[in-house]
Structure 1
């Protein structure tokens, strides 16, 4: 398949950069939101415990807060928002780096056919991420 440089940038490279950028931003926001909720709820427990002797319904409130904290922590462990945020940001920045090195024809792109090198390097970055994702999902599903 013969694809032009412009088409590759629009259909593949820029698309992948935007995808990883959006996924990284979303994972960061969700991670910080959930982590912030855990911090606030955890800090509220000692405050509410002081009211238990006066009002018995505070026992239920403190118990519910504890359950919410456990559920959020468990979901953070399962969803791996923090890990995805870091990984997606890293891949996004690697792809941007390759793009700008190519556009300025510096480093490995200071050669006769830099477009071929760009495609090979970009596809290698994307392929490694896809292999890592498949391996991680396979391991999480018990090898099934």
Structure 2
């Protein structure tokens, strides 16, 4: 199948840039939301502990519950890897953008006779490498490595 330069850039390269950009922003927002919640809940524990002696056992339950929520959020964040995904997706997005702009300006490795072939090879290599890294990471996690 022959694909034109314009089709490849629009249908493949821009699509991948947008996908990684969206996933990066989503992972960043989720990570910051829950990390901020952990900070607020952690800071509230010393505040609520001050009420335990003056009032009743309900404050002990509240402080204990906050601790359980913090542990749950931290565990969930470590499993879902939003921080790692945010950084990884952003790096790939920016690498793909870099390749696109270097190609469009015909600079660097693209300052040659037929730069389109080089663009396709480099972009597909970046995407393939990320897919292999993802598969390897998930395979290791499923085995307990």
Shared fold (TM-score, shorter chain, > 0.5): yes
Q: Return the TM-score normalized by structure 1.
A: 0.98
Unpaired segments of 5 or more residues in structure 2? none
- Structure 1 residue aligned with 2:127: 126
Q: What CA deviation, in whole Å up to 9, does each residue of 1:84-112 have, x standing for no partner?
A: 00000000000000000000000000001
Q: What CA deviation, in whole Å up to 9, does each residue of 1:2-35 have, x standing for no partner?
A: 1001110111000000000000000000000000
- Structure 2 residue aligned with 1:136: 137
- Structure 2 residue aligned with 1:114: 115
How far apart, in 2, do the equivalents of 1:102 and 1:46 lie? 56
Secondary structure (helix, strand or coil) at the match of 1:41 reads: helix
Alpha-carbon distance, 1:54 to partner: 1.6
Unpaired segments of 5 or more residues in structure 1? none
How far apart, in 2, do the equivalents of 1:8 and 1:104 lie? 17
Secondary structure (helix, strand or coil) at the match of 1:141 reads: helix
How far apart, in 2, do the equivalents of 1:84 and 1:58 lie? 37
